[in-house]
Amino acid sequence: MSKAVKIFLAISAAVILFLGSFSGGFVSAMLLKQTNGLPFLKTDSLVPSQTEATQSATSSSQSSSDLQVLFQPFWRTWDLVHNIFVDQPVDDTTLMRGAIKGMLESLGDEHTSYIDPDLLKQESMQLEGEYEGIGAWVDSSGEFLTITSPMPDSPAEKAGLKPGDRVMAVDGEDMTGKDGNYVLSKILGPAGTDVVLTIQSEGAEKTFDVTITRSKIAVPSVESKVLDGNIGYVQISTFGDNTGAELKKALKDLRDQDVKGLVVDLRYNGGGLLTAAVDVGSQFLKSGVLMYEEYGNGDTKELRIRPGGLATEIPLVVLVNKGTASASEIVAGAIQDMGRGKLVGETTYGKGSVQNWVEFDNDQGAVRITVARWLTTNKRQINKVGLTPDVVVEINEENYKAGTDPQLDKAIEVLQEAIQQ
């Protein structure tokens, strides 16, 4: 991946990114991979180079001498840590990254953060439709990372992991109460390397160790099939580099089977590339503004739908829930605002901001900084509010255990009513 500035719409809450469920045989979850970052659109013109940024900061805020005075406490602390801290030697890279993290955290924006090199690599691979890991769907909403399902023919499946297995430790390190992102960073790694997971199976008291050899995992972002009643079903799990092409292929296949209506499942879709959001939205909408971006200086930018979509006339229902975020909310919001189809499910996450992702030289990771907020087609602000579905349907633990999906059932019912009109 080139050293480039990328704009991305992302969701950073682990509870959203790693929740998992099953729907009609299709997995509605994120993969066992780091998904903290995600979506981005290359746009070098929006962010200055490091030299330009330094010059701009110096000229627009404080003089060079003022900055020297301002940063005296920082460098004084740096010297003190190196000279008198009890555990020597200290690692300069760790100190540098910690300083960047602290600076960004002080802004009070959950989506502005530092991404270390390992996680940056995994996030970039995810958007390319592949990653290096063990190949499992997971749930990180509990005290331990839990396997929702191993992917077919994956290292996780070959190692015997099963739904409900809890990851108690990774390579001997206890993962009790650890953040889901941290656990994932320990499980992920280069293809061909081994990771030892300490597993506690569902309902069991004893644990056991399993050694899994990581591999490169190819991940389709679009799945489709025909449901009873000749209803087309399309699940979009993320918005990556290949999502637009995958969706076009799926829609062509469904069209060839002469489906009467279409259910688009965006549940647990935490976002993705902004370009992919335009690609997806343009398949279902004829024309108009998909979304607006509002910047801190008052400027507004609109992203428009491209003509020529394959599914602009067919009756449509969109499934959403609390894991529907960012780029997926852009698509769902436009469909709702334009009256193209109804949303069924639960209120969405409410990720209504845009970040610049700037990758550092020399493999030092990246920073993502919120630069704008986005509005729906009708200029609704959904940040921390979300989209309210036209038809609210809750789903609970009993449904998961029974293998039922009342949200999908209701979506089919609503769609059949639309087909008959």
Q: CB pairs under 8 A, 24+ apart, for 337-342?
A: 337/376, 337/377, 337/378, 337/380, 338/285, 338/288, 338/377, 340/284, 340/285, 340/316, 341/264, 341/284, 341/315, 341/316, 341/317, 341/418, 342/317, 342/318, 342/389, 342/390, 342/391, 342/414, 342/418
Q: How far apart are CA 214 and CA 279, in angstroms?
A: 32
Identify the active-site residue in 149, 355, 407, 410.
355
The answer to whether 283 is a known catalytic residue is: no
Residue with tokens 């969706």: 247
The answer to whether 326 is a known catalytic residue is: yes
The answer to whether 221 is a known catalytic residue is: no
Q: How far apart are CA 238 and CA 16, in angstroms?
A: 13
Identify the active-site residue in 122, 149, 200, 326.
326
* Closest to 378 (Cα-Cα) out of 331, 325, 351, 338: 338
- List the structure tokens of 310: 């394959």
- Assign 3-state DSSP to the chain and report helix, strand, coil percentages, each to 5: 30, 25, 40
Identify the active-site residue in 21, 351, 353, 410.
351
Active site (catalytic) residues: 326, 351, 355
